[in-house]
Amino acid sequence: MADSKKYYWLKLKDDFFRDKRIKKLRKIAGGDIYTIIYLKMQLLSLKDSGVLFFEGVEDEFYEEVALEIDEEPGNVKMTILFLHNNGLLEEVEKDKFILPETIKSIGSESSSAARVRKHRESQKALQCNIDETYSNTIVTNCNTETDTEKDIDKDIDKETDRENNVIQSSVDYLNDNNLSLLKQFFKNQIGKENSVRDVAAMEEALQYYEPDLILEAIKVSKKAKTFTYILGILNNWRTEKHINTYVDFKEQSVAYKSAKYARQKEIVPNWFYETEPECVPEQTIDFEKERKKILEELEELKKY
């Protein structure tokens, strides 16, 4: 059976550490550790074309990543939060995350291409170390080998380009699909077609926020007529309530509902349920009747 292994590598750009987002990450307390974690996450995603999956082995995504790359869960959580807020990590589906910059930097090679490359290098070394007395023949062989190398390189480059095109097409599809769903949802909400400004605001929102979180912002603002207003809600959540992800939103929603329920179930003092004793109405005196009664008694006394 032919060996169908595939080898992957991460093509780190020469300006990686000059990227403003990476500079910002490294300035945070513990930033150098977070940068290493980001690189480890990129390497972890190579075999799946820059995608990380949450398989539910641990309770949380960051805990599962920490288990995979042998890092502290707290550090991984902080790294993921930073990456998400700065467009370096996106949740495209439930339990599916992509690293956009990694997708652009993946290189791969089949095992057969690797063998050809290795064989070519060994042959080149052999040919170029032949006795100098055969120098003319050596030059001819090396020139021929150079032409062969160029042909092999072209084939490998074509294969790599095809793979990168497939990866980029998948990412573009996911982004376009999210935008289409968002446009339809907001259209149904406001009852009219989306404007050009609305679509631009949606594209901006998708760069920084998860689709599920954006939908929640639309749901809570039923009176919104422009998507710029929705974007304002998302930004306010992030700065005022520290809601950066859909998970943050759900956690705060549960906490709010629990607090509200607790207020409704406040302990009522026992005296609230005690009934007041029945009031016995005071007996009224009929003075006219009493006067007549006294007069009658006096008349009776006169007879004696």
- For 79-115, give one letter per residue: b (16+ CB within 10 A) or e: bbbbbbebebbbbbeeeebbbbbbbebbebbbeebee
pLDDT at 3: 52
Q: Coil, helix or strand for 181? A: helix
**Two tokens, residue 84:** 């998400």
Residue 34 C-alpha from the chain's centroid: 17
What are the pLDDT digits (tens) for 239-256?
888 888 888 888 888 777
Average pLDDT over residues 141-153: 57
Placement of tokens 């909400």 in the chain? 189
Largest interatomic CA distance in the chain: 179
Tens of pLDDT, residues 216-231: 888 887 778 888 888 8
**Mean model confidence pLDDT for the chain:** 75
Give the pair of three-digit tokens for residue 299: 């008349």
Of 19-33, 102-116, 247-261, the range with the lowest mean pLDDT is 102-116
Residues 6+ apart with CB under 8 A from 179: 199, 202, 203, 206
Maximum mean pLDDT: which of 22-36, 140-154, 166-180: 22-36
For residue 84, report the phi and psi dihedrals to the nearest 5 degrees: -65, -45
**What are the tokens at 155?**
């084939």
Predicted confidence (pLDDT) at residue 96 exceeds the cutoff of 80: yes
Q: pLDDT value at position 12?
A: 82
The tokens of 300 are what?
């009776």
Considering only residues 150 and 202, tell me which one the structure prediction assigns the higher pLDDT.
202
Q: Which residues contact 298 (CB under 8 A, 6 or more apart)?
A: none
What order do you get walking across the sheet with 51-53 strand by strand?
51-53, 96-98, 90-93
125 has a pLDDT exceeding 60:
no
Q: Give the per-residue pLDDT at 70.
A: 93
- The conformational region for residue 70 under phi > 0 = left, psi -120 to 50 = alpha, else beta, is left
What is d(CA 92, CA 206) in angstroms, rounded to the nearest whole number? 10
